[in-house]
Amino acid sequence: MLTKRIIPCLDIKNGRTVKGVNFLDLRDAGDPVELAAKYAQEGADELVFLDISATEERRKTLANLVLRVAEQVNIPFTVGGGISSVEDVDILLKSGADKVSINSSAVKNPSLINELSAKFGNQCIVVAIDAKQIDGQWKVHLVGGKVPTEIDLFDWAKEVEQRGAGEILFTSMDHDGTKNGFANEALAKLAELVNIPVIASGGAGNTRHFIDTFKIGKADAALAASVFHFKEIEIHALKSDLRSAGVLVRI
């Protein structure tokens, strides 16, 4: 059985780590290079770096900042934000990223997933899906959650797997930053539908939420931000509690 992964997320805006609630009301959470180094030392399994305003501002991910973070960590490192071409991915992998995360660009041009997977291998390609419930249906949103679509979360998840995604990073916009727990019902459905790892994102507030997303939501990994940034949960202690609850993690 594969171990479950704990993944701190660095949402980057103007070169700083930020965190909000439901994708709004962002507040500063520190220097991304310092936080990355700290999390690597504390036992994080991976890191995710998302340049959250790159798509909206129509610019590329901050490759020089990616390089600085990569120099500080010895764990897998995923980078997303403003990625829309083979050239973009090539630059980020050469800057030290192990994987890339694509979101809006994949929805607008689904064949990009096929192209990137063929060029770099599906182990490098994470498709991030931001979704919220509208009239009881999970609908995909783009551009940092600002642009709604009529695309169904589950249909899109199946398509991205077929096109060559190696992982899905699902963020529930309804749960993001609320600290009320992950969207476990949707996560469990995703786990049934696809055969690639699903990373749970949005809603972590305490250790029980992590246990539940692994046991009830069947997530392969759990991503969180503010509970780690603001020292509400310590990664070593979290992993110890997960082990005690019967969840297999790397200590």
User: For residue 209, is it within any domain?
Assistant: yes
CATH number of the domain residue 59 falls in: 3.20.20.70
Using an 8 Å Cβ cutoff, are 208 and 195 in contact?
A: no
How many independent structural domains does the chain possess? Answer: 1
Q: List, for residues 94-148, the tens digit of each pLDDT value.
A: 999 999 999 999 999 999 999 999 999 999 999 999 999 999 999 999 977 789 9
> Rg (Cα) of the chain, in Å, rounded?
16
Confidence (pTM): 0.91
49 within some domain: yes
Whether residue 188 is contained in a domain is answered as yes
- Strand pairing partners for 11? 18, 50
Bridge partner list, 78: 48, 99
Which is nearest to 199 in space by CA: 225, 241, 171? 171
Q: 111: which 2 tokens?
A: 């064949």
Give the pLDDT confidence of 126-136 residue by residue, as tens digits: 999 999 999 99
Residue 185 lies in a domain: yes
Residue 250 domain-assigned (yes or no)? no
Q: How confident is the model at residue 60 (pLDDT cuts 50, 70, 90)?
A: low
Range of the domain at 114: 5-244
Q: Map tokens 């005690």 to a residue.
A: 244
- The answer on pLDDT for 64 being more than 90 is no
Does 251 reside within a domain?
A: no
Q: What average pLDDT does range 20-24 have in this prediction?
A: 49
Mean of all residue pLDDT scores within the chain: 90
Give residue 54's pLDDT.
Answer: 52
| Residue 146 · residue 156 · CB < 8 Å | no
- Please indicate, yes or no, if residue 249 is contained in any of the structural domains: no
Return the active site residues.
11, 130
Q: Are 102 and 113 within 8 A, CB to CB? A: yes
The per-residue DSSP string of 117-162 comes to: HHHH-GGGEEEEEEEEEETTEEEEEETTTTEEEEEEHHHHHHHHHH
Contact 178, 165 (CB under 8 A): no
Is 159 within a domain? yes
Task: Provide the pLDDT confidence category of residue 59 given band limits of 50, 70 and 90.
Answer: very low
Sorting pLDDT into bands at 50, 70 and 90, what band is 1?
low
Torsion sign, CA atoms 189, 127, 131, 179: positive
